[in-house]
Copies of this chain bind each other. A is one copy, B any other.
Amino acid sequence: MKITTATKHFRNPLYLESGRILEPYDISYETYGELNEAKDNVIVVCHALTGSHHAAGFYEGDAKPGWWDGMIGDNKCIDTTKYFVICANVIGSCFGSTGPMSPRYPLEESYRLRFPVITISDMVKAQISLLNSLGIYEVQAIIGGSMGGMQALCYAIEYPHFAKKHIIIASTYATQPWAIAFNKVAREAIIKDPRFNGGMYDAEDIKKNGLDGLAIGRMSGHISYLSENSMQKKFGRNYVENEGLYELFGRFQVERYLDYNGYNFSKWFDPLSYLYITKAINIFDAGRNYDSLEDSFSNIESNITLLSIKSDQLFFKEEMEHIKNIMKKIGKKDLVNYACIDSNYGHDAFLVEIDKFIPYIKDVLR
């Protein structure tokens, strides 16, 4: 599989939903497979909150591949012998695309809290610029889970002829207060950490030592990515061995899991990006710029496949069913496929139990 990783610089303005302008801006992206001559074998993969453009393959020296390596590759479900797959880091993120820690042109200092509010529509608009700059004006499919699914839905509404198919996994039509509440705990923990320092933190220090508030916020996120069932199976009431004299004083394995993942995360993700991207998720509402969801969805002209997860505790399957129901209501039933994946892994299932998703995605791409 041919992999390329690149960052593209755009001098033209990106007009944001907030009315502000991002100019210039960079987009980091990765591609898998080869673009055919007709440039008609493209699949766009959209990442989630803390994901990046590194969706597949191994970087030199890394023990772990990209976040959807089981899905993307030669003769895999998203088959790179046939398709040219592209994944772009969303604007606002911290892996190469322009975000709050990028220099605020023409100055050299970072935007920090002067960075504009970014929406899911803005992320998609930036991706369209990237794709157009590569000579791509039409794609076979857009696929994404969680916040990636929001992007896929946004493509379907705002660029109805851009993709033939959209696969929206474990996502929603509009972020509900339950998800906003989990984000609130994280946002508050970050903002109130004294080392966050009103956004003027020492970035080098945080990369080295992490930020407690971001670690605590990530723990809150992890709860919503799992499910009571998956936690019970994974951790039960087991204690970490050899810690504490006896069990009343010990640490639970679920606590160690949250410690490990929380504090590690806070060394590799940027606190301001976390604030900006959770804001984009919170304000996501596919009906916002329309009279109603019905009105919004009436723009959709091509196929959308909805894959919900039975045990999803972040974006509940009922939210995905709501998309299906509205499409039916407005007479676009033929454009929608819906399946609920029977997994106990909660929201994370699309990353950890991908075998259950493969038959559905293969079927759509066939």
- Where the two chains meet, the residues of A that have a C-beta atom closer than 8 Å to any C-beta of B are 17-18, 117, 119, 174-178, 180-182, 184-185, 188-189, 192-194, 212-213, 215-216, 219-220, 222-223, 226-228, 231-232, 234-237, 247-249, 252-255, 258-259, 262, 282-283, 285, 288, 316
A235-B177 CB under 8 A given contacts A185-B219, A189-B189, A258-B184: yes
Q: In the complex, what's the smallest C-beta–C-beta distance from A210 to chain B, in angstroms?
A: 11
Give the copy number. Answer: 2
Is there an interface contact between B177 and A232, defined as CB atoms closer than 8 Å?
A: yes
Q: What residues of chain B lie closer than 8 Å to A252, measured between beta carbons?
A: 177, 180, 282
Q: How far, in angstroms, from A212 to B196 measured CA to CA in the complex?
A: 14
Inside 8 A of A175's CB, which chain B residues have their CB? 237
Contact B176 A117 (CB under 8 A): no
Q: Which residues of B contact A222 (CB under 8 A)?
A: 181
Apart from A181-B254, A185-B219, list 12 A-B contacts with CB within 8 A: A17-B248, A117-B248, A117-B249, A176-B232, A177-B236, A181-B222, A182-B223, A184-B254, A185-B220, A188-B215, A188-B216, A192-B193
* Chain B hits for A282, CB < 8 A: 252
Among B174, B185, B194, the residue within 8 A (CB) of A237 is B174
Query: Which partner residue on chain B sits nearest A250 by CB separation?
Result: B283
Q: When A18-B248, A248-B17 are in contact, do A181 and B283 touch as well, CB less than 8 Å? A: no
Interface contact A216-B189, CB-CB below 8 Å: yes
Q: B216–A254 contact, CB under 8 A? A: no
How many Å from the CB of A63 to the closest CB on chain B?
26
A117 to B248, CA, bound (A): 7
